[in-house]
Chain A
Amino acid sequence: MSETLLEVKNLTKYFSTPKGLLHAVDGVSFTIEKGKTLGVVGESGCGKSTTGRAILRLQEPTSGEVYFEGKDILKMKRREMHKMRREMQIIFQDPYSSLDPRKTVNQLIREPIVNNKLLKDKLDIEKRVLELMSTVGLAERLYNTYPHELDGGRRQRIGIARALAVNPKFIVCDEPVSALDVSIQAQVLNLLKELQRDLGLTYMFITHNLSVIYYFADDIAVMYLGRLVEKAPAEELFAHPVHPYTQALLSAIPNPDIDAPRNRLLLKGEISSPINPPPQCRFAKRCNYCCEKCLAAEPELKEISPNHFVACHFPLE
C-alpha cells in the first residue's frame, strides 16, 4: 500500500496590498504519496510557487494545515522547524541568481552540511562534498570553480547537490529547468528522475511547461488564480481533462509534430486580478461554457471518478 508523505489541507496565503487582499493561494488541498511526484501546473500568477514556498514555510501560510509524515508542520516551533527543513528541500528556478557568486562549488555544497552540523570532521565533509558532486554529475575538477564559470545546467546541478546534502525525503522543484536550453533541460530532468529512483525521493514539481510535467509527474494538479481546479493521475488528466481551463491549457501546447491534428481551444481574455476575487468561479470570465450558476457560486473540488478531482459546476465529458 502506498503511504502518504505530505498532506495539505485548505492552505491559504493572502498578501495585503494597497488595493486589498491578494488571494495568492486560496484553500488548496492535496496529498503526495511517498516516492511519487506531484506536478503543479498553471500560468504565471496562479499561485503555484507560493504553494510550494508556503508548504516549506519559506512564506508563512495565512491558514491551513500541512502534515508531513503525520505531523502538522505549521504548528512547529522555530527549532523544531529548523530540524524539519532537513527533510524538505527546494530547488529554485534560476540557477543564475540562487547561488552566491562569491562562493566556489565546494563552499556552496559544503554550506548545508556545516550549517546543519551533519558532519564535523573536515575530511568527512570533503568526502561528502565530492560524493554529492559525483551524484549530480559534476566533475571533480570543478571543485574550486565559481558559479559564473559554469553554464546553467551545471549551476542547476549545484542547486540540486545543495538540496541533497541534508538527505531530504521531499523536494519542491520550482521550475528547475525553465531557464535552461532544451538539450540541457533533458540532462537535468533525467538526473532528477534517477535521483528519485535511487534515493526514493518525493517531489512536488512546479512548472508551466506541460510536456515536461506529463513526462515527469505521477499526478498533476492544475491551478488557476489561487485555486486548485483539477487533479488527476498524469495519463488520466491528459486523456480526459474535464475542467474547461485544463482543456484549453492542454490544447495550447505547441506540438512539434506537424502532422498532429490541431484543434486549438482559444481562450478569450486574460487571467483576472487575484485581489479580492468575487465569490464566483475564478475562471468564469474566460470560460467558453460560463453560465449563471458559475457567476453565483464558487465550485468546490469534488471527486468525479477515482482519484480524479475537479472544481467545476459543469465538468465536461
Chain B
Amino acid sequence: MGEVQEKRSEYAMEIRDLAIRYVTDEATVYAVNHIDLKLRPQGTLGLVGETGAGKTTTVLSILNLIQTPPGVIDSGEIFVNGRNVREMTPAQLSEMRGKEVSMIFQDPMTSLNPVMTVGDQIAESILLHENVDKKTAYEMAKKTLETVGIPGERAGEYPHQFSGGMKQRVVIAIALACHPNVLIADEPTTALDVTIQAQVLDLMRKLKESYHTSTILITHDLGVVAEICDEVAVMYAGSIVEIGSLREVFKNTKHPYTEGLFNSLPDMSDRNSQLKPIKGLTPDPTKIYEGCTFAERCPYASEECTKRRPQLEAVGENHKVACLAYEREGFSIERSRKQ
C-alpha cells in the first residue's frame, strides 16, 4: 500500500482519464473515451445513458474485469479507497472484489448459481474474506438474508424456489455480505416489475443508511435516478457529457442530449403533448469523431461542433457540461428556458 501513498485519493472510488477500446478482427470499438469519475464516500452516483454508451465497461474496469483481449485499456487510473486497481496483484484483486467493491448485476435470473443453495452462495463470499469457519459463515449468511427481507430459514433453498424480486434480493445479499465500501449496481431493477422495483429501491436506500456504502447505480431510467441518487453522470458514446448534483442536472439541465432524454419521456402533467424524440441514432462506436459525438443529432449544433471536441467545463457549482454551444454568448437550451 505504501508505494501508492502519494497518489491517494480522498474519494471512495475515483477514475482518472480512463480510455478503453475493444479490438476485434473487423473493427475497433471505442467504448470509453477518456473519462473521469469520482464517487464521494457514502454518495450515490447515477450513471445514465443508452445502450452502448459505455456504462457497463466503465464500472467493470473498477473491478478490473475487462477481458483483455478483446479489451485494451489505453490509459487511466482507477482508485478504490486510495489504491490503484490497475497496479494490484491477482491476490490483491480477489481480496478487493466482494470485500471492498461488490457488484449487483442486472439479471438476477442468470447471476445466481442454480445448483447451489442461496445460503451457500452468500456464505461463499464470507468464507473468502472473513476469518471464520463454515458454520459461522452460514449463520452470517442467514443474518444477511434477513437484512434484505428474506426469512433466514430459506437459506437452504435453491434460486428457482424464489421469485424474481426475491432473487434480486439474494444477489443484493451476496453483494452486501462483507459490507463493501463501494457497491456497483448495474441496472438492478430493470428486470423487475414496478411494485417490486419500489421494494428493492426502498431496500437499497435503507441499506445505504445502515451500512454507509457508496453506490454507483447504472440505469437508463431517469425516474430511478431521481429516487435514490445524489449525483448524476450522463454518458453518451463513451464520454461523460454532463455531470453534477442531482438537482443541478435534473433542474438546470445543460447538455442537449440530457435535454433530449427528458423530452423523450411522456409528460405526466400533459397527456396530449407530443413526445419529442432525439432524432437519428447513436453514433458508430468504431468511428473516431473529430468533433462532438452528439453533433449530428443535436438541434443546436453549429459547424464548429463537428470540428472540435468539447471538454467538460464547469457551468455552476458541482455541475459540468461538455458542449461547445456554451461558448456562444447567452446560449441556453429550450428546457432551461422553460423553467
Q: A254 with B195: in contact, given A182-B265, A211-B265, A266-B202 (CB under 8 Å)? A: no
Check B165–A270 contact: CB distance below 8 A: yes
Taking the nearest CB of chain B, how far is it from the CB of A122, in angstroms?
A: 32
Given the known inter-chain contacts A185-B264, A211-B266, A212-B266, please indicate yes or no for A256 contacting B194, CB distance below 8 A.
Answer: no
Instruction: Give B178-237 interface residues, CB cut-off 8 Å to A.
Output: 193-199, 201-202, 220-227
Inter-subunit contact B223/A43 (CB<8 Å): no
Q: Is B247 an interface residue (CB 8 A)?
A: yes
Which residues of A in the span 144-194 have a Cβ within 8 Å of any Cβ on B?
151, 153, 181-187, 189-190
- B262 engages A256 (CB within 8 Å): yes
The answer to whether A258 and B199 have CB atoms under 8 Å apart is no
Please state if B223 and A183 are interface contacts (CB–CB under 8 Å).
Answer: no
B274 on the A face (CB < 8 A): yes
B250 interface hit (Cβ, 8 Å) = yes
In order of increasing CB-CB distance, the 8 nearest A-B pairs are A254-B223, A186-B277, A215-B266, A43-B193, A186-B264, A183-B278, A252-B198, A186-B275
Which A residues lie within 8 Å of B308 (CB)?
A: none
Q: Which of A210, A262, A266 contacts B199 (CB 8 A)?
A: A266
Asked if B134 lies at the interface with its beta carbon under 8 angstroms from chain A, I say no
* A267 on the B face (CB < 8 A): yes
CA distance A266 to B197 in the complex (A): 10
Contacts from A to B (Cβ < 8 Å): 43-44, 151, 153, 181-187, 189-190, 208, 210-212, 214-216, 234-235, 248-249, 251-259, 262, 264, 266-267, 270-271
Query: Smallest CB-CB separation from A152: which chain B residue?
Result: B51
Interface residue from B194, B247, B265 paired with A252 (Cβ < 8 Å)? B194
In the complex, whether B271 has a CB less than 8 A from a CB of chain A is: yes
Contact in complex: B277, A190 (CB < 8 Å)? yes
Q: Which B residues are in CB contact (< 8 Å) with A264?
A: 198, 202
CA of A215 to CA of B222, assembled, Å: 17
Query: What are 24 contact pairs spanning A and B, CB under 8 A?
Result: A43-B193, A44-B164, A181-B50, A181-B51, A182-B261, A183-B260, A183-B264, A186-B275, A186-B276, A190-B274, A214-B266, A214-B271, A215-B267, A235-B271, A249-B194, A252-B197, A252-B198, A255-B268, A256-B250, A257-B226, A258-B247, A266-B199, A270-B165, A270-B196
- Contact between A234 and B271, CB atoms less than 8 A apart: yes
Residues of A within 8 A of B265 (CB): 182, 186, 211, 256
- A182–B166 CA distance with the chains assembled, in angstroms: 27
Query: Which B residues lie within 8 Å of A44 (CB)?
Result: 164, 193
Contacting pair A253 B246 (CB below 8 A): no
Query: Which among A153, A186, A266 has the highest number of chain B CB atoms within 10 Å?
Result: A186
How distant is B26 from chain A, measured CB to nearest CB, in Å? 13
| Assembled-state Cα–Cα distance A210/B223 (Å) | 12
A262: chain B residues at CB < 8 Å are: 227
| Bound: A248/B199 CA distance, A | 11
Is the CB of B287 closer than 8 A to any CB of chain A?
no
Q: How far is the CA of A216 from the CA of B268 in the complex (A)?
A: 11
B136 at the interface (CB under 8 A from A): no
List the B side residues contacting A252 at CB < 8 Å: 194-195, 197-198
Query: A248 vs B195: C-alpha distance in the bound complex, in angstroms?
Result: 7
- Are B221 and A254 closer than 8 Å at their CB atoms? yes
B281 interface residue, CB < 8 Å from A?
Answer: yes
Q: Contact check, B193 vs A258: say whether CB atoms are below 8 A apart.
A: no
The answer to whether the Cβ of B163 comes within 8 Å of any Cβ in the partner chain is yes
Interface flag for B251 (CB, 8 Å): yes
In the bound complex, do residue B226 and residue A254 qualify as a contact, i.e. CB atoms below 8 Å apart?
yes
Q: Is the beta-carbon distance between A258 and B226 smaller than 8 angstroms?
A: yes
Interface string of B43-72 (1 = CB under 8 A from A): 000000011000000000000000000000
B260-A271 in contact (CB<8A): no
Query: A185–B266 Cα gap in the complex (Å)?
Result: 10
A136 to chain B minimum Cβ distance, whole angstroms, is: 15
Q: Which residues of A contact B225 (CB under 8 A)?
A: 256
The distance in angstroms between the C-alpha atoms of A151 and B261, with both chains bound, is 18
CB distance from B195 to the nearest CB of A (A): 5
A182 vs B281: C-alpha distance in the bound complex, in angstroms? 12
Within 8 A of A (CB), among B248-265: 250-251, 260-265
Cα of A182 to Cα of B202 in the assembled complex, Å? 24
- Closest CB of chain B to A93's CB: distance in Å? 14
